[in-house]
Each structure stands twice: as C-alpha cells, then as structure tokens.
Amino acid sequence: MIQRTLSTVRPILIDVVFQKGLALGSTLAAGSALFSRPAAAETSAVPSDGGVKTGSGPFAARAYGTANPKVGLALMPIERRPLGPKDVFLDILFCGVCHSDIHTARGEWPGTLYPSVPGHEIVGRVVAVGNQVTKFRVGDIGGVGCMVDSCGVCPQCLAGREQSCINGTTYTYNSPDRAFRGPTLGGYSDKVIVMESFVIRIPPGADLAATAPLLCAGVTTFSPMHHWKLESGQRVGIIGMGGLGHVAVKLAVARKAVNAD
C-alpha cells in the first residue's frame, strides 16, 4: 500500500524520502515523492516502552532490498543484531533515497554484496538502548548517515575521522559488519540497531521527512562550505541539481552566499 503526501513536499526537494513499510514501486516522480506511513497499525516485535534488554535479539525486520543486480527492490525479511551495550535501537520513520543507493542496488559500482538493502539517510525513534548508552533515551529521535562503525583505535578514528578509518570504515550498507553476520543492511527497513556514537540527535520539533536527506546529501555539501568558511557575499559553484545539488543551494542561500551556475 502506497500513499503519497505530496502536499508536504517542498517544491525544491529532489531527494526522495522513503518511509517505513512501503514499497519503492510505481513511478518516483523526480523531485517530489514522499511516502506516508500506512494507516493500519504497525506490527512490530519491539515494544515501544523500552522493553528490549541489552543482549536480547537478533530481531526480525522488514526491508526493501535486492537479491541480485537484475531485479528491483522487493520486500524481504532481514535480521538486526542483538542489542549491544552501546547500541541504539531505532524504529525507522523516514529514509532518504540517495543515488548511491540505486547504484549499489543495481550493481553499477563494483562490489555490491547481495542481498543489498540500501538507505543511509535514516531518521528513527529510539525504542530501546543498551545499558551503557548515555546519549539517548527511549522516545528520542536519532539520525544515521552513511557510517555505522569503524575500528575506533586507529589514528584516524582517534582524531574523529572515522570516515578515513585505516582499518576500514563500516558503511551503513554494503560493508562487512563488524558486529553481526553478513553485510550491513541499510535504512529501507523498519528497524535498525546502531552504536550510539554513530547516531546523531535530532532536535525536538524537526521536520523529520525533511531531515532525512540532510544525513548524506546535507552533510556532504555542508562539509566543504564549512571547511572553506563560505561566507555572506561569496560565490559558490554547484555542479548539478540532483539530490546533493539542491541541498547545496539551500545551504549556500542560508549562508547568504551568491550562487553561480
């Protein structure tokens, strides 16, 4: 069952937002698709009162993924790992669709591990936390971008550059999972378990659908502007108006820069 709530989509929003429990079927109107939660009550094995204890699991989850590069995304059962002491268990509410997802699912880049479940712009509600988690409580909203783990001990990790981990960053999907069997599986799913250090807090009141694309397209384009200290009145060139490009325009405008094409 698919419903679209186009009225909530900003005209400039080019990223597609995928919401839990729904198919990526039919036509995705470029620039303006938002899938809504089904009206029927969600069934979940995870209690919403934080009843999941550290060490329990693994947990059954639903996902949209591909079994091989020749087929489209389809509903498939997956498992999420047992809840570790530093893990946050998210009931996924929204997941942006990044073009990397499509390339990976279709095997257009070398090295796709199948089954492949894409999705690395994840926003979810915390339904359980491990007993050593300090940053989140049940009911908080958390976001997960393109990384979910790293070695934690190499010079890059210790410098806060986990994306350059010498021993290999663990990406949100299509990476060997350090904590569980098989490759990591992404956010086109109803649940995910991620170490708290790779989950960011989403402030109360945030537009959660609009927040999701910030977790890849947003940070990717924010980073160079921040690094080069883009300021009011400066000019910035943005090549392409896709998922990243349109966010870059918004960020540049927010910094009162002048967009040059």
Tell me which of 28, 60, 113, 154 binds Zn ion, using CB under 5 A.
154
d(CA 13, CA 26): 19
Nearer to Zn ion by Cβ, of 98 and 236: the residue is: 98
Nearest approach, Cβ of residue 119 and Zn ion (Å): 9
The tokens describing 81, both together, are 């790992």
Minimum distance from residue 258 beta carbon to Zn ion (Å): 27
Compute the distance between CA of residue 224 and CA of residue 93 in angstroms, rounded to an integer: 29
247 is a contact residue toward Zn ion (CB under 5 A)? no
Closest separation in Å from C-beta 232 to Zn ion: 28
Residue 212 binds Zn ion (CB under 5 A):
no
Q: Is 151 in the site for Zn ion (CB under 5 A)?
A: yes
Collapsing DSSP to helix, strand or coil, 99 comes out as helix
Taking the least distance from each CB to Zn ion, the nearer of 100 and 174 is 100
Here's the x/- map for Zn ion, 85-114, by CB under 5 A: it reads as: -------------x-x--------------
What's the rounded Cα separation, in Å, for the pair 147 and 192?
13
Q: What is the DSSP string of 61-78?
A: EEEEEBSSTTS--EEEEE
Name the one range near Zn ion by CB under 5 A: 67-75, 151-159, 173-181, 196-204: 151-159
**How far is residue 197 from each of residues 88, 105, 110, 147, 243, measured CA to CA in Å?**
9, 27, 29, 10, 26
Query: At closest approach, how far in Å is the CB of 42 from Zn ion?
Result: 26
Q: Using the minimum distance from each CB to Zn ion, give the nearer residue, 83 or 105.
A: 105
Judged by CB, which is closer to Zn ion: 100, or 221? Answer: 100
Q: With respect to Zn ion, which residue has the nearer C-beta, 5 or 167?
A: 167
- What count of other Cβ atoms lies within 10 Å of the Cβ of residue 151? 16
Contact pick of 34, 46, 157, 193 for Zn ion (by CB under 5 A): 157
State how far the Cα of 150 lies from the Cα of 168, in Å rounded to an integer.
6
- CB closer to Zn ion out of 138 and 151: 151
Sole binder of Zn ion in the list 33, 46, 92, 216 (CB under 5 A): 216
List the structure tokens of 259.
């967009």
Nearer to Zn ion, 98 or 105 (CB): 98
Per the omega criterion (within 30 degrees of 0), is the bond before 58 cis? yes
E-strand spans in 136-234?
141-144, 147-149, 170-171, 191-195, 200-201
Distances in whole angstroms, Cα of residue 165 to Cα of each of 64, 147, 227: 29, 11, 20
Structure token pair of residue 23: 């198919």
Q: Which residues sit at the interface with Zn ion, rule CB under 5 A?
A: 98, 100, 150-151, 154, 157, 165, 167, 216
